[in-house]
Amino acid sequence: MKRMKRFVCAIMVLAIAVLACGCTTPAPSSQAAKEAAAVPDLIGNWSGTMKGYIEEKGYTDYPDEAMTMRVTGQTGRIFSGEIVFSNQTATHEVKAFAGAINPDGRTFSIVEHGGGSSTGTLLSPGELELVYIERTVPFTIAIDTLEKS
């Protein structure tokens, strides 16, 4: 009987030790979760094409217009500059903007002076895509594919 009590006590001590070790050991964490995505350097000129839809006008590929996003400043994940729209003969609109890069280091948001906003995706270090939304009348949506020059 005494031997049985010792055996049961030993099993209980062992069980408590195993539980204590399992409950106090932190769960393993992935290295990817610990490392933040690198912040891309967006400073420079990004130029390219636009395709969109304008209320009451319909679909367009803006055949006579060019777009250049000039990123002139960046501090960490916040950046700013101006977007220049021009045709074959002259510049016809310049809009100031500011943006923020998401923690993934790949997607971002932009707000433009006077209205309009974009969500963006960095497709590669030298190419990005913007989805522009203008909610005023007439509403507009466009996809801009830009390359860094």
Residue that wins the pLDDT comparison between 102 and 3: 102
Distance between CA 100 and CA 63 in Å, rounded? 30
Query: Does residue 50 sit in the same domain as residue 78?
Result: yes
- Residue 50 within any structural domain of the chain: yes
- Supply the pLDDT for residue 82: 98
pLDDT band at 64 (very low <50, low <70, confident <90, very high): confident
Q: Distance between CA 20 and CA 17 in Å, rounded? A: 5
Indicate if 58 and 21 belong to the same structural domain: no
Residues 6 and 60 in one domain: no
Asked whether residue 26 is assigned to any structural domain, the reply reads yes
Give the chain's domain count.
Answer: 2
Share of residues in the chain with pLDDT > 70 (%) = 77
* Backbone φ/ψ region at 137: left (φ over 0), alpha (ψ -120 to 50), beta: beta
Residue whose entry in the numeric block shows the structure tokens 């400043």:
73
pLDDT reported for residue 123: 97
- Hey, how many other C-beta atoms are within 10 angstroms of the C-beta on 102? 14
Same domain, 27 and 94: no
| Domain match, 22 and 49 both | no
Domain that holds residue 13: 2-34
Would the pLDDT of 28 be above 60? no
116-137 pLDDT, tens digit per residue, is 999 999 999 999 999 999 999 9
Does one domain contain both 18 and 85? no
What are 35-62's pLDDT values in tens digits?
Answer: 678 999 999 999 999 999 999 999 999 9
Contact in structure between 78 and 100 (CB atoms under 8 Å): yes
CATH of the domain at 138: 2.40.128.120
Same domain, 72 and 112: yes
Distance CA 133, CA 141 (A): 5
Question: Domain check: are 13 and 48 in the same one?
Answer: no
Both 19 and 75 in a single domain? no
Please tell me the distance from the alpha carbon of residue 117 to that of residue 130, in angstroms, as a whole number: 9
CA dist 15 and 106 (Å) reads 48
Residue 58 covered by a domain: yes
**117 and 70 part of one domain:** yes
Residue 39 resides in a domain: no
Same domain as 16, residue 78 = no
Same domain, 101 and 135: yes
pLDDT of residue 33: 45
